[in-house]
């Protein structure tokens, strides 16, 4: 685990990017204009970069399997919801890992 990569300011930057993409993906799904898939691919890449930078310890339970599901059909709304949950759970895990690291 990279303690520097899970520092609050660094993590907040990753999640700010996700927040922007999330809003765009949600709007694209509502509009049903076909742009959701491209936005989801960007979001998947963002998530993978976060995990690579911070370390596999930040991945939630079944994170690899869930990410595979998302990558298989990124244009589906269910995949968007699953990715949103992965980001939420990862944010919680990074906070917990940061607290544990500060206690050591």
DSSP secondary structure, 31-100, as one string: HT-S-HHHHHHHHHHHHHHHHHHH-GGGSPTTHHHHHHHHHH-TTSHHHHHHHHHHHHHHHHHHHHHHHH
pTM score, two decimals?
0.90
Q: For 81, list phi and psi in degrees, rounded to 5.
A: -60, -40
The tokens 């936005």 sit on which residue? Answer: 39
What digits encode the pLDDT tens for the residues 76-87? 999 999 999 999
What digits encode the pLDDT tens for the residues 33-56? 889 999 999 999 999 999 998 888
Domain assignments of the chain as residue spans, ordered by start:
6-100
């Amino acid at each position: 685990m990279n303690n520097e990569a899970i520092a609050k300011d660094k993590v907040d930057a990753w999640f700010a990017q996700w927040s922007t993409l999330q809003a765009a993906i949600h709007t694209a799904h509502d509009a049903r204009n076909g742009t959701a898939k491209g936005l989801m691919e960007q979001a998947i890449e963002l998530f993978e970069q976060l995990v690579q930078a911070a370390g596999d310890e930040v991945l939630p339970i079944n994170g690899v399997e869930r990410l595979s599901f998302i990558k298989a059909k990124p244009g589906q709304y269910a995949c968007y919801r699953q990715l949103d949950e992965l980001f939420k759970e990862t944010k919680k895990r990074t906070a917990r890992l940061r607290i544990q690291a500060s206690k050591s």
